[in-house]
Amino acid sequence: MSKEMLNALDALEAEKGIAKEIVIEALEAALISAYKRHYGQSQNVEVVFDQKKGNIHVYAVKEVTEEVMDSQLEVSLKDAILLNPAYEIGDKIRFEVTPKDFGRIAAQTAKQVILQRVREAERNIIYNEFSAYENDIMQGIVERQDNRYIYVNLGKIEAVLSKQDQMANEFYQPHDRIKVYVSKVENTSKGPQVFVSRSHPDLLRRLFEQEVPEVYDGTVEIVSIAREAGDRSKVAVRSFDPNIDPVGTCVGPKGQRVQALVNELKGENMDIVEWNEDPAIYIANALNPAEVTDVIFDTSNPKACTVVVPDYQLSLAIGKRGQNARLAAKLTSFKIDIKSESDMKDFYAQLEQEEANETDDELIMEEVNMTADDYENVAFDEEQN
C-alpha cells in the first residue's frame, strides 16, 4: 500500500499539477478525523505520513505532569524520565498508537482525499481557463433549456444563458451553434459557473473586432454602443487615422462587414455613426437617419438639449415607439427633446407674445401708478386750499 500511495501521489503531481505536499497535508488532516470516527479520540492525535517509505504513523501527544488526571492526555514525570531523563513538566511526548488495521482505513481515506483534490484541481483548471474568456466571446452549442436558462456547451463546461440575456427575436434549438459573450465566471462550491449573454452591448463590440481588422488593431475605436438586442443598435465610432473613414470601414465594401454582424444577430438593424468632440454634431449624427436643423443646449442642464428637425423628418427622428430618439440619447448620454421646425416657430412666437404681454403689463402698471400718484397730489392740493 505504501508504494502504491507514493506512485499515486507522483502521478497526481505529474498529470494534474497537484503538489504532493498539498495532498499529504489534506490526507493527514483527514486521517485524524478518521481516527476519531473509528477510535473515539483525536484531540491530542497527530498523523504523520512518511514521504520516503509511504508509511503512515499515528501518535498520541501527551503532556508531562506531576500528577496524571487523564491518561489519554497526560504522562507522569516519573514515567517520562524513564523514557528520557531530560524530560520536564510541561514537555510534550509523542507515543505511537497506530492501530493494526489502520492501513485499511488509511487507504480508503487516501482514496477519498485524492479524488477530492483531483476534482478541486479540475475545477480550478476550468475556472482559470474560462475566467480568461471573461468579457470576450466564445462559440458554443445549445444543449437544452428549462424555465430559467438555456444551457450552452462551451467544451469543458456548460454555460447558462438567462432570459434577460437572450435576444427577443431569436429562438434557440438544441445543436444550434451560437456566439455568446462571457459576462461573468464564478468559482462556486459546486464548481465553476459561466454566465453568457446574447443581449450584452459588448457582444457587438467583440463581433466588430472579429469582423473589422481596423477595430481589432485600434485604428478605429468604438466609442459608445446603444443596443436594444434583436431589434436595433447604434454604434459610435472614430478613427485615429485622418485618412480612414471610420463609418465606411465598419460598414465595409457594399456593406459586407456590417451585414455579417446583422446576420449573426438574426437581422438586428444597425446604425453606425461618427463620433465627434462637438456635442451638437455628435447628437445630430446619433439621430441618423433623420436630418437635424439645430441643436439647442439647456443652460440649466449641461446634459440636456432640444433638437430641431424639419417637419417631415419628425417621425423619422423620433422613430418607431420612440426608439431612434431613445437609442440616440443612450449613445450620447444626453437627454434629447425633439421638436419640429413648426413647433419651434410656434414656441418662439408664443415666447415673443409672452414677452410683449409682459412689457404691456409693465407699461399699464406704470400708468396706474402715475394716475394714483396724480390723484394723491390733487387731493393734497384741494385739502390745502
Please report which helix (H) or strand (E) contains residue 103, including its range. Answer: helix 102-131
- Please answer whether residues 216 and 268 qualify as being in contact, where contact means their C-beta atoms are separated by less than 8 angstroms: no
Q: How confident is the model at residue 382 (pLDDT cuts 50, 70, 90)?
A: low
Please tell me the least confidently modeled range out of 23-32, 129-138, 187-196, 331-340.
Answer: 23-32
In the prediction, which pLDDT does 116 show? Answer: 81
Q: Name residue 248's amino acid.
A: G
Tens digits of residue pLDDT in 95-119: 888 888 777 777 788 778 778 877 8
Instruction: Kindly list the structural domains of the chain, giving each domain's residue range(s) and its CATH number in brackets, ordered by start.
Output: 2-129 (3.30.1480.10), 134-197 (2.40.50.140), 204-274 (3.30.300.20)
308-337 in b/e burial notation, b at 16+ Cβ within 10 A?
bbeeebbebbbbeeeebbbbbbbbbebebe
Mean pLDDT across 21-33: 82
Q: How confident is the model at residue 178 (pLDDT cuts 50, 70, 90)?
A: very high
Tens digits of residue pLDDT in 28-85: 888 888 887 777 776 788 888 888 777 888 888 899 998 888 888 899 998 889 999 9
Task: Choose between 337 and 32: higher pLDDT.
Answer: 337
Q: What is the DSSP letter of 236?
A: E
Mean pLDDT estimate for the chain = 86
> Has residue 379 got a pLDDT over 60?
no
Q: CA 17: distance to chain centroid?
A: 30
- Please answer whether residues 9 and 20 qualify as being in contact, where contact means their C-beta atoms are separated by less than 8 angstroms: yes
Task: Choose between 48 and 278: higher pLDDT.
Answer: 278
Q: How confident is the model at residue 276 (pLDDT cuts 50, 70, 90)?
A: very high
Q: What is the DSSP letter of 230?
A: T
pTM for the structure as a whole: 0.69
Q: What is the DSSP letter of 163?
A: G
Torsion (CA) 270, 276, 280, 282 in degrees, nearest 10: 10
* Percent of the chain scoring above 70 in pLDDT: 90
